Amino acid sequence: MSIQSHSAGGYHWLNQWLRMYDDERAQGDAATDPDFRVAPDFWEGQAERFAAAAASSPQPDGFMRFLLPRLRPTDRLLDIGAGTGRYEPLLSQHVADMFALEPSAAMRRHLEQRCTANTHIIASSWPTPEAPACDIIIAAHVLYGVREIGPFLQHMHTSARRGCYLLMAFLHPAMYIAPFWQAIHGTSRLPLPGALECLAALFQLGIPANLSLIPVDGRMSFPSEEEAIADVRSRLRVAPEPQRDQRIRALIREQFEHRDDGSLRPRGLAEQAAVIWWEHQ
């Protein structure tokens, strides 16, 4: 099968993915403050918040409720982009061997604290020869940051003995930043590719996949206004500056929901996400 013969709708979705990725990154680079600090490990400033969310999120969530009935006790499972280990404690109870692939050292520091004896951490990006062939491969909210989507998906397909499962939003979860980007930078924030682009790319690769909707149980929130401001500032790629921070604070009070426990949540977050999955016959 040639890739061209499966260009869904006659459209080259792999090129579309590449364009969306490059355009979003170029827009971000062009808007970056000269004083904005870019850490060598992108997740350095986010790992603590992700770890707290992983520890406090009740499991099984919608993705796990979808996945767990499809697992077998003898399975070897690979989690690509395991982050701080949101799913590792639960998944390790349902499979024989768990492999958690995570390139970020900041994320791995937290991941190590959540791993059980049958979980093996791999400090690498995907694809990698360090990851063994597994029965099941998953990737949750990882693909938005992958430029070369074709090799990523093809390696998943060939490395999984039984099935692959991707958790994705239709729009990147951080697109809550759009009104802030418009207010501070004066233009619309360009989106990264999401679930529908991924599904079309799979068909173009000759991998017919399924898309199932699941509820989003734990949506993004921040424990305080100051942490929300720091996150917005990071996504805007701007350094602290008093007058601009005042504008960001005012927008947060307008755009975020203030909850009873003191935390803040962006308004209008999606209530459903997509599981894109395919199984070998």
Least confident of 15-19, 40-44, 173-177, 258-262: 40-44
**Confidence tier at 41 by pLDDT (50, 70, 90):** low
Answer whether 243's CB lies under 8 Å from 184's CB.
no
Contacts of 11 (CB under 8 A, 6+ apart): 200
Query: Taking all residues of the chain, what is their mean pLDDT, rounded to a whole number?
Result: 92
Q: Three-state SS for 16?
A: helix
Report the distance separating Cα 183 and Cα 249, nearest Å. Answer: 12
Peptide bond between residue 127 and the one before it cis (omega within 30 degrees of 0): yes
Question: What domain count does the chain have?
Answer: 1
Q: Three-state SS for 55?
A: helix
As given in the structure block, the two tokens for residue 251 are 């927008």
Residue 81 lies in a domain: yes
Residue 256 lies in a domain: no
DSSP 147: S
Residue 253 lies in a domain: no
Q: What does pTM read for this prediction?
A: 0.93
Answer whether 195's CB lies under 8 Å from 3's CB.
no
Report the distance separating Cα 150 and Cα 11, nearest Å. Answer: 15
pLDDT over threshold 90, residue 10: no
pLDDT over threshold 90, residue 184: yes
Query: DSSP states of 77-104 as a string?
Result: EEEET-TTTSSHHHHTTTSSEEEEE---
- 69-93 pLDDT, tens per residue? 999 999 999 999 999 999 999 999 9
Beta pairing class for 76-80 and 97-101: parallel
The dihedrals phi and psi of 100, each to the nearest 5 degrees, come to -110, 110
pLDDT above 70 coverage of the chain, percent: 95
Residue 102 lies in a domain: yes
Answer whether 275's CB lies under 8 Å from 158's CB.
no
Residue 251 lies in a domain: no
Residue 148 lies in a domain: yes
Q: Give me the CATH number covering residue 93.
A: 3.40.50.150
Q: Three-state SS for 162?
A: strand
Report the distance separating Cα 160 and Cα 153, nearest Å. Answer: 11
Residue 247 lies in a domain: no
Report the distance separating Cα 91 and Cα 98, nearest Å. Answer: 8
- Expressed as residue numbers, the domain containing 145 is 4-173+190-219
Report the distance separating Cα 91 and Cα 93, nearest Å. Answer: 5
As given in the structure block, the two tokens for residue 253 are 């009070």
